[in-house]
Structure formats: structure tokens, C-alpha cells
């Protein structure tokens, strides 16, 4: 479980991998599906995710044979309460092989803090 922290308006860049097989060897993830979700609560439906990504929409397999991918998600649209100055989301990255077998690669908390500059480029 990982804790990620960034300012609202910054871009989340999360390196994924190398993805490993059960025996500890590197998994070739070519042809696999990856998804990223960040939600207020783990019970929220996927369509209620505050941030999300998939291959071609924020997630890129950077080296399939080496089991490497990159998640790049903009946070400019995330609202942060003025009374606390931060928002805590729960996140995970899941992978599914071509047969549909899914597993969670990493998960944790994403803390988004208010930024001083309120406009995005």
C-alpha cells in the first residue's frame, strides 16, 4: 500500500512495474489491460471515480516485455475543500491479462492538497 501526495493541478505520474509473475519472473504485459481509479470511498462505483485512467487514456505500456507501464493523470479538475485544504482519495492500479484474470498491482491513499495558483496552464 502506497501513499501518494501532490498538489491539486499537478499531474500524477505513477510508474508501474515491473509486473511480476507468481514465480517472481517478469510478466510480459503486452496485450494486457490496465486501469487506475481514485475514489472517495472504496464502495463507490467506478463511474463515481474522481480520477481514472486506462490504456490510451492516461495509461501507457512503456515496455510490455519488461512489464512496465506509466499512469499519467491530471488533477486540475479535483475539488479540494477549503476548510481542510486537502482531499484524501483511495486508489488502485489493476491489470487484466487477455483471458480476463485481474489482479491489483498497487493501492493506497492519494492526498491532494490545495494549491496556491488556482489556474491551470
Domain limits of the chain? 2-113
1-16 in b/e burial notation, b at 16+ Cβ within 10 A? eeeeebebbeebebeb
pTM value is: 0.90
Q: 3-class DSSP state for residue 43?
A: coil
CATH code that applies to domain 2-113: 2.60.40.2550
* pLDDT tens, residue by residue, 30-89: 999 999 999 999 999 999 999 999 999 999 999 999 999 999 999 999 999 989 999 999
- In this predicted structure, the answer to whether residue 90 has a pLDDT above a threshold of 80 is yes
Q: For 93-103, write each residue's pLDDT tens digit.
A: 999 999 999 99
Q: Tell me, what's the pLDDT at 119?
A: 61
Amino acid at each position: 500500500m502506497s501513499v501518494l501526495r501532490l498538489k491539486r493541478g499537478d499531474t500524477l505520474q505513477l510508474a508501474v512495474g515491473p509486473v511480476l509473475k507468481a514465480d517472481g519472473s517478469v510478466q510480459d504485459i503486452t496485450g494486457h489491460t490496465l486501469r487506475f481509479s481514485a475514489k472517495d470511498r472504496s464502495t463507490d462505483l467506478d463511474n463515481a471515480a474522481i480520477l481514472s485512467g486506462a490504456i490510451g487514456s492516461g495509461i501507457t505500456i512503456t515496455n510490455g516485455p519488461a512489464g512496465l507501464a506509466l499512469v499519467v493523470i491530471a488533477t486540475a479538475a479535483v475539488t479540494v475543500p477549503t476548510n481542510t485544504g486537502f482531499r484524501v482519495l483511495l486508489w488502485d492500479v489493476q491489470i487484466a491479462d487477455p483471458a480476463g484474470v485481474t489482479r491489483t498491482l498497487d493501492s493506497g491513499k492519494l492526498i491532494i492538497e490545495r494549491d496556491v495558483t488556482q489556474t491551470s496552464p
